[in-house]
A and B are shown apart, each in its own frame.
Chain A
Amino acid sequence: MSASSNRLFSLQDIIGFAILAAVIFILLPLALDTFRLNLFGKYLTYAFVAVGLVLCWGAGGILSLGQGVFFGLGGYCMAMFLKLEASTPENTAIQSTPGIPDFMDWNQLTALPWWWEPFNNLAFALFAVVAVPVIFAFIIGVAMFRRRVGGVYFAIITQAFAAILTILIIGQQGFTGGVNGITDLRTLNGWDIRTDEAKELLYFVNGILLFACLFIAQFVRKSKLGRLLIAMRDQEDRVRFSGYDVASFKIFIFCLGAAFAGIGGAMFTLQVGFMSPTLVGIVPSIEMVIFCAVGGRLSIIGAVYGALLVNWAKTSLSETFPELWLLGLGGLFIAVVMLFPNGLAGVYAEHVAPRIARLFSKTSTTEAKQSKQSPAE
């Protein structure tokens, strides 16, 4: 690796970030109406998960097939706050017990469960959006990595967690809304999240948060920790023999990925207006890995494009071919994996970046030549 890659941002990184910022903050808002922009906002919430996966999987070699768990936990924490706010006694006057969420009433609960109480507080809910997934990830991480469970076994166990949490959510419908999820969310601290203005504002908040996560991810990758992660991915034993506490690094990066996913989940809830167990289970968790794979599992920017592209393809294919779209999507995945094993980022690195680099080096050499020549003239 050249010395320049140790800087936080190489020229290439800067170009990449600038293009992504232009796409998210200028191009999409200008090109799309509110409905479509809101959809892209939803896709971007998956990008949080994909960025976390790039750190865990691409850099650290920890393939988690259960990121939906963290996305879901973050989303549910947000949804609980919003649901309590929507369940004022006036709004729920027709229920047997007014003032509690409607699904609790349907399930014969007569009082709010104690662990729902703190979610009346926005600050607590926002804290929980990050803290709950991180605590969960920490417990899984300690249990797994301290015992040196890795690779395929880790992937399977995370998948089991996704299944367990889904069954738990669906089974405890009095407390969680069951299969229906937590629906009909209206306001955030009195601010109606269903209006067009709110949707647009939330899109930009989402974009800013995503960039914050991207910067953190970039910082981690360029730090010593990032280099150790790659070393661990390639030769874990050697890193351990060198005296590093491999498990702690892994736990940290896994928790960071969970935190990103939790934020993504909360933004999903805000933009879509509800949360349901269909975003928690095995299938969505695997889909999230696919976003990351399509974008390129080594590139945090690629992961964002991957999430955008796959979901956009999903929406437009299903709108155009409502009965055949899954085949098209499957074809897309196969094509990407066959033709571009490193995803979109790989295509960029192999074909686009060298040309840009050449362009820049040409201009810089001509500039250099000119500057050399000019004094002579």
Chain B
Amino acid sequence: MLSYFLRRLILVLPVAFGVSVVCFALVQIAPGDPLTAIMPVDATAEQQAAMRAAYGLDKPVPVQYLIWVGNLLQGEMGRSIASGRPVAAEVFGAVGNSLLLAAAAAVIAFPIGIFLGFLAGYFRDTALDRAVTALSITGVSVPNYWLGIVLVIIFSVNLGWLPSMGAGPGGSQDWQWDWAHMRHLVLPAVTLAVVPIGIVARTVRALAGDILSMDFVTALYAKGLSRGDVLRHVARNAAATALSVMGLQLGYLLGGSILIETVFNWPGSGFLLSNAIFQRDLPLLQGTILVLAMFFVGMNLIVDVAQAAIDPRVKRS
């Protein structure tokens, strides 16, 4: 197991290198001058050149990459062009908020998705199965930013029960586990949970259905095992694939919530990313994408190792 883990860890290095190259290249090929957003529209050519030099953007692209990577290895992610603040502080603060939101959405989505999927798989081709399938397809299909707006209209504007924006009450700077803060989490987390509920439910339904129709299940029943014992076997067989899907969904929840964080003004990495794109803030854009991409890489590593721990066949393959 340890050797598998180490082999898997070593494989992360070329992936990380590839991620860094792609992150850097993506923002280089994007149209627009990164300094446009912070310079007056009628800035002179001299001013533009001075700003470009100040941010190192006058250097050849490979040199810019090497400087960027060199700084990264020293823990320095540069400063945001738009705000002048250290990118690391901006990104990790925002990622912390996104993790909180993603965790809340996962806490809602995974148990509900697993329960619904298992229910549908167990009662395959019944009215219950069709209802769950319809529900999960709807969950996957509904644009979640639209759902977010609808929830805001109902629960914030009309009923006034929950706030529509921000990560805490006025003046609050740090997250606290009290209702005043947690009520800000409810609407974005529920909105964000809808898609993974659908995906997890559909995956678990398919897995459970397939496994329940396998010969070994019949054999287990024939051996006289109780329904509960058989279901435990089914769950163990389904767990590896389900875990893999949920791991990827966790990555999606962290990095794929740009629209949700924008709708709810949630100060997370998606919101930061959209602002960085809008402002052509290259250092911030690169830093945010890199951190999110590395999170995906990390999640994949954890999921692979967890899969191997649960299902020895994964390790052998």
Q: Do A and B come from one complex?
A: no
Q: B-side interface residues toward A, CB under 8 Å?
A: none
Residues of A within 8 A of B (CB): none
